[in-house]
Amino acid sequence: MRSVKVGSKVFGNLVNRGGCGRVRLQKKVSSIIEKVRSEGDSALIRYTTKFDKINMKKKDLRVTEAEISGAYQDIKPEIINTLKEIIGNINKFYTNQVPKSWSIRQESGIELGEKFAPIEKVGVYVPSGTVPLVSSVYMTVLPARIAGVKKIVMMSPPNRYKSIDPHILVVANLFKVDEIYKVGGAQAVAAMAFGTKSIPKVDKIVGPGNEYVTEAKRQVFGYCDIDMLAGPSEVLIIANHYANIDYLRKDLMSQAEHHKGLSILVTPSKKVFNALYKDPDIKGYLIKVKNLEEAAEVSNMIAPEHLQLMVKSPKRVLKNITNAGAIFLGQYTPVAIGDYIAGPSHVLPTGGTARYSSGLNLRSFIKSSHIISYSRRALCGSAGWVRGLTELENLEKHWESLSVRCE
């Protein structure tokens, strides 16, 4: 591991590791989006041939019922039992997040409130590289379903057999995804944002992806909503002498399984520092601090996606933590348990964006409307305040819309 001092240039680069994509990447993605927007399905087919090396026709874009039925024959039955356990955990977590509409009535004749409603149509992107990312299906689809989203559309790149991995298809089918399409990359994001003859336009796009997918999500934001701009996976571990060195080593090394994964260890312990300093098997950064209070300050500055508190009393340190996507407490709570079965979604803010954003959750799929109701007495009783403000902003017609009701 590489030792880094707080306040150094390298430390500054860790804190400010986010940012926009490269100019060349932006231009490539912009071109793809505009082609899909103007040419629709034909552009999707052309890009699938170019990037995925798969020749497809328009009728091949959507996954058929026969493909889904066939997928059940290609998976092990045990996966169904595993999914049942996961569903139970996710349901327990997210049912506690369901917001309730509310209102308050004042004696003056004013009623104020808030109405919650689910987003109508959501698009889910599921990457599919060398291995099927099955967990990305249930970590995105289930919160949307619990929130009450009416229509869920899923996109995933096709494999060499012009299909999608059977595990992904089965999980998507079990969670009642409405439509599944064999499209990947920036072109998939563009298709969901603007719609084509085959693919419906959605109101929000969620799910992880490579740099092209992420840049496409950034560029279509505004035409639809997105969950976040997710970068490479990252973990920061705060550990003291109480931590098991073997656990630390394995947790730090696990990030190397992710493309460009980032591992950071922050410790006040000489024992921990000396045990892992210059460890050739761990690619990451080691930060020595004075105490656990400074460790929390450093962590908040870096604002990691995953934060592990491997100390004897993790809840004491937790009180000082303000910026983290997900926080894992104690020796027996590695990031992997959150990635797969704990319950909360593993789609989390990266690149320091945990300073101002949250991980994917049930509220990500719900919007609210403010409710305002005034009686005539309450309206006219507030007229003087409104008059002063409309004069200040020189908006006379705004005042007239109120005054006509009080004449």
Residues labelled catalytic: 305-306
Cα distance between residue 94 and residue 142, in whole Å: 9
**Ranges of H-type helices in 53-159:** 65-71, 78-94, 134-147
Cα distance between residue 266 and residue 272, in whole Å: 10
DSSP 157-218: ---TTSS--HHHHHHHHHTT-SEEE---HHHHHHHHHH--SSS---SEEE----HHHHHHHH
User: Which of 151, 153, 150 is closest to 137 using CA atoms?
Assistant: 153
Is residue 198 within 8 A of residue 41, CB to CB? The reply is yes
Can you tell me whether residue 124 is helix, strand or coil? strand
User: Which of 205, 214, 269 is closest to 237 using CA atoms?
Assistant: 269
User: Which of 116, 175, 178, 101 is closest to 143 using CA atoms?
Assistant: 175
